[in-house]
Structure 1
Amino acid sequence: MTGRAVAAEMLSLESALRQLVKVVQRTPVELASPNGALGRYAAGDVRAKRSQPCADLSAMDGFAVAGTEPWTVVGESRCGAPFGGPIGPGQAAHISTGAVIPEGASAVLIKENAQLSDHTLQAIEHPEDGAHIRRKGFDFATGEQVIAAGQRIGPAQLALLIAAGCDAINVGRPPRISILECGDELDAKAAKPGQLPPSNGAMLAAMCASQACETTVSAPLPDDLGAIAEAIETAGSADLIVISGGASVGDHDLVRPALKSIGVEPDFWRVAIKPGKPLLVARRQKQLILGLPGNPVSSFVTGFMFMLPAIRAMLGARDPWPARMYLPAAHDLPPVGPRREFLRATIAPDGAIPLDQQDSSALLALSKASCLIERPEHCGGLKAGTPVPVYLLGNGGNA
């Protein structure tokens, strides 16, 4: 990789995300069954191989009727056992929800509106033509696009693919993610003053579990340039290396020097967000490298805003960015300085409530947060009740 100059100024969030898109490379496309595609993204448009429904079906339990009343009931159509022929004017057939409409029937008289005496049927309320009939192909027809390129295959899309007769689709291969955690202070027992259990790697791996990827977490690395460089090179088969800690400017923040020692220069470094300023993005041939801050909340926020979108982009997502919605601010919010702020918050009936503790090391507060409130840089104070952008985390008590 040729060296690239890293701007001394911090990038805005939007600029950083645009640059991230430029350096992310999609994983190779492979063919997968609908079940195998779950959680991944379609690599191309998918078209139905059958129509749904494949015939006119009843939407209700009752009677398929032809012509005007009274009707003579001449048989039954049920799921898996259609009526064995057409019905003519003045005739009707018992019918179940989802059963095929007999040829000649013009409507379904629902059971609640039917009066049946022996085989003679009359209506309490006469159905309009076409009432309670699901027409052939009303959901989708053979050849119709059912999944768009870049669309995520979730439970509903899985059912759709199966119903549409699509036994295999093209999707991106699950990215291989290698997570490294740096810091001399990291020790599983944390028996000495100043030591910490290594929790960021496990947290980031758990975040990755929401995506279709293969994740490994290495043992904590010391603040040693050679050890960090060796770990990066050892993870050569990974599509994405995520390094938590060591990306800032301290004497023992050695991720950038370690990258430089193996010929890698950052594409960008430092983003104007709080928490999460010392974010680093680099590329080593086809491999993406993300250096995240070591403070756990900073690591979480940058993982949410950059790591997860990078994985989704690798998988071919049409829109890899986290979904944003608006809720009222439940409390007044103070002005914001030169960095975009992401406040940990909970959701209540009157809106989003920022947590009292916003320190970037506060895991207890993070565990209670169900959303992030986004506050633009250099914005003024805000009155309670004003809509604010929020990102749902799927985390915390009321998520």
Structure 2
Amino acid sequence: MSGLLPFQEALDQLLSGVEALPAETLPLDHCAGRVLAEPVIARLTQPPFAAAAMDGYAIRWADLQARWRVVGESAAGHGWAGSLGPGEAVRIFTGAPVPNGADVIVVQEEVTRDGAVARLAGEGPLRPQAHIRPAGQDFAAGDSLIAASTRLSAAHLGLAAAGGWGALPVVRRPRVTLIATGDELVQPGKAPGPGQIISANPVMLTALLRAAGADVHDPGIIPDHRTALAAALQAAAADLIITIGGASVGDHDLVVPVLRELGADIDFWKIALRPGKPLLAGRLGGTRVLGLPGNPVSAFVTALLFAVPLVSRLGGRGHELPLQRLKLAAPLPANGPRRDHLRARRTPAGAEPFARQDSALLALLAQAELLIIREAHAPAAAAGDEVTCIALDMFHSVF
């Protein structure tokens, strides 16, 4: 296996110096799942006034045991403008401003009322300020609300809105162009002719990369012709170009020679990995290029191991894949000189590798819940031994 770059060395080289893309400012309803580029500081105080936490009557604590004369009403958005005097009460509703002079709210279930006169009919509140939310109880103007680099959830967006923000600076999504090459390929939904197959990789990788935060463009199938491939590479307006297929050494594998003709710098080509040995990484001008194998499983695994971390880092996200330590449900032989990734399922006994591991078997890939990682030259493992797995069934909840 001389000349094959070890997996970790290749990944480290790919990610070296990669930083998050510049920020763009978007309306809040476009920010879910995006990574915040700058801290969010409260522009407002929440609540901006002392507010009722319950429906009832606002009174003075000193008048709790007295009869009260109801002098007004305070509702959300329509406060009572006066100032409460001795023996007076204001009918109040949840969220409404507490009138000046009031320092407690008696809930309506503990009040009896006859016309404009009301009084306590139950145990009443236990202390002054009961059922009142003080101004700034949640946060005050100038408070730090959300830290930079936070991936924004629904609750974060609600908090930003309450804090006075209508738009936020977020890291721009990485733009990825997929270039699938091959005269034998036809688009999904079309009937393949003699010697042709469906181009399944682009739709699969588009879903994978979008889950990692990318905007993905697929210009369609590119024929196995140098001019067509060169034109597609030069037309890509992207942060990352991913080619699929054509990165090996056959007469029809044109990716490497065409990239070199266009002046690309090839950082590495071929790594000690299974599936996915014919992987290349480089740059075409200012655009990063990844060349993935054409076999479906190889394309998926190399995209998961290399494209997803790269896209995640460009998008400001953490790039670690979800790993788990699980027991083996069946023994495994010693591994060879390439790091291997075995498709597997979860069972009560642990991770069970599929009997067949051919890199063209999409049906088994779709059933796989795990990739069992077997490092290069790993010794034989017995049933019950612990192994490290990539949790495919957790990927979308993490990314």
Calculate the TM-score normalised by the size of structure 2.
Answer: 0.77
Aligned 8 A contact 2:281 2:290 in 1: yes
Measured in 1, the distance between the counterparts of 2:318 and 2:52 equals 40
Given that residues 32 and 152 in structure 2 are in contact (C-alpha distance below 8 angstroms), is that contact kept between their aligned partners in structure 1? yes
- Equivalent residues of 2:373, 2:387 under 8 A apart: no
Work out the CA distance in 2 between the residues paired with 1:150 and 1:137: 26
The structure 1 residue matched to 2:4, chosen from 9, 12, 16, is 9
Q: Which amino acid aligns with 1:334?
A: L
Contact map agreement 1:48 1:145 (CA 8 A) in 2: yes
Amino acid at match of 2:198: P
What does residue range 120-131 of structure 1 map to in structure 2 within 5 Å? 120-124=119-123, 126-127=125-126
- Give runs of aligned pairs for residues 47-66 of structure 1, distance below 5 A: 47-61=41-55, 66=60
Q: Distance in 2 between matches of 1:212 and 1:395?
A: 12
Out of 190, 193, 205, the residue aligned to residue 192 of structure 2 is 190
Task: State the distance in 2 between where 1:340 and 1:22 align.
Answer: 21
Is contact 1:296–1:363 with CA below 8 Å preserved after alignment?
A: yes
Residue type matched to 1:52 in 2?
Q
Give deviations 1:334-378, integer Å, cap 9, x for gaps.
366254444445567887665565432222233334554555552
Matches within 5 A, 1:209-358: 209-210=210-211, 213-235=214-236, 237-315=237-315, 317=316, 319-324=317-322, 326=324, 328-329=326-327, 331-332=329-330, 334=332, 337=335, 338-345=337-344, 358=357
* Percent of pairs with identical residues: 36
Rounded Cα–Cα distance in structure 2 between residues aligned with 1:65 and 1:353: 68
- How far 1:142 sits from its partner (Å)? 1.6
Deviations 1:59-97 (A, max 9, x none): 455555653743656455432233445557887655544
Q: Please tell me whether residue 99 in structure 1 is matched to residue 101 in structure 2.
A: no
381-390 or 176-185, larger mean C-alpha shift: 381-390
The answer to whether the 8 A contact 1:247-1:256 is kept is yes
- Do the aligned residues in 2 keep the contact of 1:335 with 1:380 (CA within 8 Å)? yes
Matched, 1:81 2:82: no
Q: Counterpart in 2 of 1:30?
A: 24
Which runs of no fewer than 5 residues in structure 2 stay unpaired? none
In structure 2, C-alpha distance between the alignment counterparts of 1:169 and 1:17, rounded to whole Å: 32
Which deviates more from structure 2 when the two are superposed, residues 36-45 or residues 160-169? 36-45
Secondary structure of 1:35 counterpart: helix
RMSD: 3.9
- The amino acid across from 1:32 in the alignment is L
1:4 is aligned to none
Q: Secondary structure at the match of 1:209?
A: helix
Answer with 1 or 2: which has the greater Rg.
Answer: 2
The whole-number CA distance in structure 1 between the counterparts of 2:38 and 2:122 is: 50
TM-score by length of 1: 0.77
Name the CA distance, whole Å, in 2 between partners of 1:85 and 1:287. Answer: 66
- On the 8 A contact 2:264/2:285 being kept in 1, the answer is no
Quick check: 1:372–1:393 contact (8 Å CA) kept in 2?
Answer: no
What is the DSSP-based 3-state SS (H/G/I as helix, E as strand, rest coil) of the residue aligned with 1:288? strand
Are 1:360 and 2:359 counterparts? yes
Q: Which runs of 5+ in 1 are unaligned?
A: 1-6
Residue identity in the other structure for 2:329: H
Q: How many Å separate the matches in 2 of 1:385 and 1:56?
A: 61
Q: 1:37 to 1:61 in 2, by over 3 A?
A: same
In structure 1, distance between residues paired with 2:38 and 2:184 = 47
- Distance in 2 between residues matched to 1:307 and 1:292, nearest whole Å: 9
